[in-house]
Amino acid sequence: MLMDSTTVTFAEAKAHLSQLTERAAAGETVIITKRGKPVAQLSRPATSRKPVGLAMLRRLTESMPKQSEEADRFMRRLRDEARY
């Protein structure tokens, strides 16, 4: 699904960068202009995802050592030792 593009001035982009990046992350293209001419474009980066093979994932995790301590106790111990 391709969304529309939005054009904003450089000053507007500076003032609303967080909102504009959220819109770009949602798939919208944001064109930034300076003195009426396009100078930059915000858009979601193209990501290529490769499927993970279940057999390969099992082989990888089987070779890992088992955790000797439950995760909640481990995290609590790390936190307590660091003395936040």
Is the pLDDT at 8 greater than 90? The verdict is yes
Q: 0.75 cut: is pTM over it? A: no
Is the pLDDT at 84 greater than 80? The verdict is no
Most confident of the ranges 34-43, 61-70, 71-80: 34-43
Q: What is the pLDDT of residue 2?
A: 47
Give the per-residue SS3 of the chain: CCCCEEEEEHHHHHHCHHHHHHHHHCCCEEEEEECCEEEEEECCCCCCCCCCCHHHHHHHHHCCCCCCCCHHHHHHHHHHHHCC
Q: Which domains does the chain have, with CATH numbers?
A: 5-42 (3.40.1620)
The predicted-structure confidence for 13-55, as pLDDT tens digits, reads as follows 999 999 999 999 998 999 999 999 999 999 998 887 888 899 9
